[in-house]
């Protein structure tokens, strides 16, 4: 083979490879352009994160700041990784009501003014009762959760108009699954309306109120526990007397913020033969929102029927 022929073959081979590489790059670029970037969503807790995921599906990327069921959200300290996620978010779902103020602080410090921020407490329209404090645990209020689902759908549609139809359809399907939960509460109310209930914190009150139950816990007890303060001896005696005097039919106990005084309440309830229903503020591992809340309402109904 002559040198000129070898050179011609080498040049042809190089040209062919370059052509193939160019075709490959063109295809890759086309694929990249045809696949829109997912919408970045940050939720303050995995409760709202799970609900957002239900609505956004595989069209969004969700970061839940608080996801550890052993973490007390009231005392959470956000970290630089959370700050980075919030700085890039297109949609932010916060609880509000003083529950997760770190979200607003980090949004301001990260200079993210373009994110659509959904405040669940503001969406709920709930306010503090006269002479009382706002119960910010609105994810136990199913009508509020339905409203927030609609707001999430609208925010995602604004960020990704091409998938607006899918977001709306997913939100409708999610809300339809809340209806059986409200029906369960209505059945509890019909069977046990007016029955007394004790709590360690206000966490489950929207659920117990919708079920027609009356909270008999001294406000000073549940407020002190929520704030991490000591309960006075007088208030503790009054709270424990609820069980020994059989003035309540169930104790709903927040597992995430237990301590010596809440443990005394739990022990007093069990000693009096009063059922204890444990609840949490964030999703337990392996649970989604609907399965978690179904378990909570079913546990309440079962306890009241004992």
Residue 303 CA to residue 251 CA, distance in Å, equals 9
Distance of alpha carbon 242 from the chain centroid: 31
Residue 35's pLDDT is: 58
Residue 30, in any domain of the structure:
no
Short-list 179, 192, 158, CA closest to 60 = 158
- Check which CATH number belongs to the domain holding 83 and give it: 3.40.50.1980
pLDDT value at position 240? 98
Q: Is 277 inside any structural domain?
A: yes
Q: 288 lies in a domain?
A: yes
Task: Show the tokens assigned to 170.
Answer: 């997913």
Q: Where are the beta strands (DSSP E) in the chain?
A: 39-45, 60-66, 91-94, 116-119, 196-199, 214-215, 250-254, 276-279
- Tell me how far apart the alpha carbons of residues 126 and 115 are, in angstroms, rounded to a whole number: 24
Domain end call among 179, 203, 228: 179
pLDDT of residue 257: 84
N-to-C CA span, the chain = 96
User: What residue numbers bound the domain in which 112 lies?
Assistant: 39-179
Q: Which among 179, 202, 225 is the end of a domain?
A: 179
What domain count does the chain have?
2
For each successive 10 residues of the chain (306 residues), what is the average pLDDT? 42 41 45 70 97 98 87 74 92 96 87 91 94 93 98 98 98 98 98 98 97 97 91 97 98 91 97 97 94 98 96
**Does residue 167 form part of some domain?**
yes
Q: What is the pLDDT of residue 8?
A: 42
Q: How much is the pLDDT for 245?
A: 97
Domain boundary among 179, 209, 239: 179
């Amino acid at each position: 083979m002559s040198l000129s022929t070898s050179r011609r073959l080498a040049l042809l081979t190089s040209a062919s490879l370059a052509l193939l590489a160019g075709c490959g790059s063109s295809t890759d670029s086309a694929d990249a352009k045809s696949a829109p970037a997912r919408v970045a969503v940050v939720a303050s807790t995995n409760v709202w994160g799970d609900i957002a995921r239900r609505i956004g599906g595989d069209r969004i990327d969700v970061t839940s700041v608080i996801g550890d069921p052993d973490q007390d959200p009231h005392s959470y300290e956000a970290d630089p990784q959370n700050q980075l996620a919030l700085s890039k978010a297109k949609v932010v779902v916060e609880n509000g009501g003083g529950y997760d103020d770190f979200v607003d602080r980090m949004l301001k410090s990260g200079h993210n003014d373009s994110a659509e921020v959904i405040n669940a407490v503001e969406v709920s329209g709930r306010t503090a009762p006269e002479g009382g404090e706002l119960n910010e645990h609105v994810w136990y209020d199913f009508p509020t959760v339905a409203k927030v689902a609609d707001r999430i759908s609208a925010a995602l549609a604004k960020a990704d108009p091409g998938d607006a139809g899918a977001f709306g359809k997913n939100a409708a399907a999610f809300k339809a699954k809340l209806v059986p939960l409200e029906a369960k509460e209505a059945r509890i109310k019909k069977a046990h309306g007016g029955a007394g209930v004790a709590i360690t914190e206000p966490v489950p009150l929207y659920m117990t109120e919708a079920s027609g139950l009356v909270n008999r816990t001294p406000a000073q007890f549940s407020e002190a526990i929520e704030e991490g303060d000591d309960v006075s001896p007088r208030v503790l005696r009054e709270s424990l007397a609820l069980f020994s005097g059989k003035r309540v039919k169930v104790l709903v106990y927040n597992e995430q913020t237990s301590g010596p005084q809440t443990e005394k309440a739990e022990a007093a309830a069990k000693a009096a033969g009063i059922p204890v229903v444990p609840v949490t503020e964030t999703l337990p591992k392996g649970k989604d929102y609907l399965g978690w809340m179904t378990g909570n309402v079913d546990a309440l109904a079962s306890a009241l029927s004992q």
